[in-house]
Amino acid sequence: MSLSRRASLHRLAALFAAPALLDLGRPGSHGWARLQALFGEADDPLAGTIAQYQAGRVRGAWSAAEVTTRALERARTWNATLHAVDALADSAMTEARASDTRLRRNALRGPMDGVPVFAKSIYDVQGLRTTASSAAWAELFPELAPRDAIEVARLRAAGAVVLGKTVADDFAYRGVGTSSLSGQVRNPHDRLGQRTPGGSSAGSAVSVACGIAFAALGTDDGGSNRIPAQCSGVVGVKPTFGLVPRSGVIPTWPVLDTHGPLSRFVADAALMLDVLAGPESGDALALRTPYTRGALAALRDDALQGARLGLVEAHVPRAQMTLPTQTLFDRAIEECLGAGAVVESFAAPSNRSTFREQFAAAARARGDVAPNANAPAATANALLRYFARQGTAQAPVDAKERVQRGLAAYRAFYDVLPETWEQMAVLVEQPYERDAASLSFLRSRETVVAELAAAMRAQRLDAMVYPTMPFGAFLLSAGWPDVRTALGYGNWLGLPEVSVPAGFGPDGLPACNLSFVGLPGSDARLLSLAHAYEQRSKRFAAPPSPVG
């Protein structure tokens, strides 16, 4: 049945049961035009926002099954060029048809119901291998995952259609998008195939940039969401540390690892993060505060009006920045000013050059052991817990045996781990939340963040701003530029950060993303500020369609 535009907007608001949507959807109300704009037309359902996609479903313009079919066809056809997809899920079409059934019954579970998404290759997805994008790991562990990672499970519970898994750097360790299993992920904006798409969440960024999925799961220990966001020209989110639990994902550094979405648009990232957030007992470092659904998705177009932004000059290394990145960053700041923000210089008490020594100094002042973000005992125990979760009452697993089996392949990247199993066996049993070096690190984090918070309060700042990276997508042959970035700063302090496209260089490649960075817990505010900037600048541009 085809509905009128106005009827479909009312129905969409009712299905989502969101008070803001209901208020906007009242005919004759001040917000009626806003609702129409929010759920505007999109010729290609995978090119618009999630809200536009859902509005089209309600109108009868397309179904989740039709759009999922299109997404899977793109993934298969384009992957010969992109090398972005690790595996596709046989369950995707069943999930899409189930969502269409719920729509006919006016029983959608929320805005993510029926939305095609991807997970990164280090996530467990039931029925698929967890390859970690590593040829060695895929050979060592060919079995199918018996259950979903917590984030994948939450997406399925919200009705999302899990298309499959994306390619990353081996074990999510490096930042260029090179997999020993799948090859080099292609930057879709670079026809010559010479530039990095960024990494390690390369396939996730590329898949959403090309319109294969609306959003994708990524991880970030030192920039793995934000690097491909800038290099591939999409939105990358690193939430507050602990906001998103990490059970069922091949671990990295427990005190740094932060999971979040990549998407074309901030609003879509906010909807996905809203589903992912909240406590979970399997992750000992996840936040314990109950999360209220919807808190992250209330965005305002005018959020920059009157906002106070601190420009951290120490994170703008102009002498080392490429000219396109510097030009685009300056333009982005002017656009924030034009949207009504107050932007002033902010001398953060910790910055990209000083934060490591400040962590160490805080520990010395406490008389504590040296803090270690890469403590081997923490990673060893996290790996044991990852494998233990794969067991069931009917089919228990020997988690220690699996750690031992995979140690050499894993240690080739995480080389802080012991070389021998005898040394490793001692570490795996030590709970990472009680590891002395990790605890010292977390205590130092509290000290350094408290100093930052006091400085931001004194200057009445809502957020900090700086370029996500001081350079764009670099040549793969040249390797990573010898420039200190602010990426690790955000992970060490556990700060939320939203990276938004700020434009393209003369070569047609993404050259700058603007980062909105805040204190822990300010995720909703940052998303709203980033959304307002995005609506003002409209710098996202889709890459050309890949050639198979």
Q: Which domain holds residue 396?
A: 376-434
pLDDT of res. 429: 93
Task: Count CB atoms within 10 A of the CB of residue 423.
Answer: 12
Is residue 424 domain-shared with residue 521, that is, in the same domain?
Answer: no
Same domain, yes or no: 283 and 424: no
Q: Among 79-83, 169-173, 256-260, 395-399, whose mean pLDDT is lowest?
A: 395-399
400 catalytic residue (yes or no): no
- Annotated catalytic residue, options 134, 224, 247, 499: 224
d(CA 319, CA 21): 47
pLDDT value, residue 9: 59
Say how many C-beta atoms besides its own lie within 10 A of residue 180's C-beta.
18
* 293 and 394 housed in the same domain: no
Considering the domain architecture, whether residues 277 and 400 belong to the same structural domain is answered as no
Give the whole-angstrom CA distance, residue 10 versus residue 32. 10
Runs of H (alpha helix) within 367-497: 376-388, 399-411, 421-428, 436-458, 487-493
What is the structure's pLDDT at 543? Answer: 97
Tokens 């010729």 sit on residue: 43
**Residue 396: per-residue pLDDT:** 86
As a whole number of angstroms, the distance between CA 273 and CA 270 comes to 5
- At 503, is the secondary structure helix, strand, or coil? strand
Looking at this protein, which amino acid is placed at residue 64?
A: A
Catalytic residue among 63, 120, 134, 522: 120
Regarding whether 411 and 283 lie in a shared domain, the answer is no
Percent pLDDT > 70 in the chain is 92
User: Mean pLDDT over all residues of the chain?
Assistant: 93
Per-residue pLDDT, 391: 83
In the predicted model, is pLDDT for residue 360 greater than 90?
Answer: yes
Q: Is residue 214 part of a domain?
A: yes
Kindly tell me if the per-residue pLDDT of 255 is higher than 70. yes
What DSSP character marks residue 487? H
| 288-to-123, 254, 260, 285, 530 alpha-carbon distances in Å | 22, 16, 18, 9, 26
* 3-class SS letters over 316-362: CCCCCCCHHHHHHHHHHHHHHHHCCCEEEECCCCCCCCCHHHHHHHH
Q: Report the C-alpha gap between 107 and 98 in whole angstroms.
A: 11
Whether 127 and 263 map to the same domain: the answer is yes
Q: What percent of the chain has pLDDT over 90?
A: 90
Task: Clarify whether residues 139 and 283 are in a common domain.
Answer: yes
Same domain, 183 and 295: yes
Residue 1 reports pLDDT greater than 70: no
Helix, strand, coil percent content, the chain, rounded in steps of 5? 40, 15, 45
pLDDT over 60 (residue 367): yes
Identify whether 94 is part of a domain.
yes
- Identify the pLDDT of residue 136: 98
Residue 40 confidence (pLDDT): 56
What number is the average pLDDT over the span 276-285? 96
Long-range contacts formed by 257-261: CB under 8 A, 24+ apart: 257/219, 257/220, 257/221, 258/219, 258/220, 258/221, 258/491, 258/494, 259/151, 259/217, 259/218, 259/219, 259/220, 260/217, 260/218, 260/220, 260/225, 260/236, 261/215, 261/216, 261/217, 261/218, 261/235, 261/237
Q: How many helices (DSSP H) and strands (DSSP E) are in the chain? A: 19, 13
* pLDDT (tens digit per residue) in 413-455: 999 999 999 999 999 999 999 999 999 999 999 999 999 999 9
pLDDT band at 394 (very low <50, low <70, confident <90, very high): confident
440 in any annotated domain: no
Residue 27 scores a pLDDT above 60: no
For the stretch 214-241, pLDDT in tens is 999 999 999 999 999 999 999 999 999 9
Angle, helices 266-276/50-59, rounded to nearest 10 degrees:
90
* Residue at a domain's end among 392, 418, 434: 434
Q: What is the pLDDT of residue 393?
A: 74
Let me know whether 149 and 283 are in one domain. Answer: yes
* Domain assignment present for 51: no
Residue 328 in domain: no
Say if residue 251 is in the same domain as residue 174: yes
Asked whether the beta carbons of 259 and 252 are under 8 A apart, the reply is no
pLDDT band, residue 392 (cuts 50/70/90) = confident
In a domain, 77, yes or no: no
pLDDT, position 19: 38
Distance CA 185, CA 192 (A): 13
Q: How far is C-alpha 162 from the chain's CA centre?
A: 16
Question: In this model, does residue 329 exceed pLDDT 80?
Answer: yes
**3 state SS of 425:** helix
Q: Which of 416, 434, 452 is the last residue of a domain?
A: 434
- Token duo for residue 157: 């519970």
Closest Cα partner for 433 from 495, 377, 353, 358? 377
Question: For the residues 117-124, what does the mean pLDDT come to?
Answer: 98
- Whole-angstrom distance, CA of residue 67 vs CA of residue 140: 35
Same domain, 151 and 290: yes
Answer yes or no: 522 catalytic.
no
Query: With bands split at pLDDT 50, 70 and 90, how would you rate the model's confidence at 24?
Result: very low
Residue from 91, 121, 179, 200 carrying the catalytic annotation: 200
Instruction: Tell me the HSE value of 406 on the side-chain side, using a 13 A CA sphere.
Output: 28
Boundary (domain end) residue, out of 394, 414, 434: 434
CATH, residue 258: 3.90.1300.10
308 assigned to some structural domain:
no
Mean pLDDT of 67-90: 98
| 330, burial (CB in 10 Å: exposed 0-12, middle 13-18, buried 19+) | middle
Tell me what pLDDT residue 38 has: 53
List beta partners, residue 463: 309
Q: Is position 357 within any domain? A: no
Both structure tokens of 535: 């609506």
Into how many domains does the chain fold? 2
Confidence of residue 28 (pLDDT cuts 50, 70, 90): very low
- pLDDT attached to residue 32: 35
**Catalytic status, residue 120:** yes
Amino acid code (one letter) for 526 = L
Instruction: Supply the pLDDT for residue 471.
Output: 96
Is there a single domain that holds both residue 176 and residue 290? yes
In this structure, the strands spanning 215-220 and 116-120 are parallel
Q: For residue 325, give the amino acid letter.
A: T
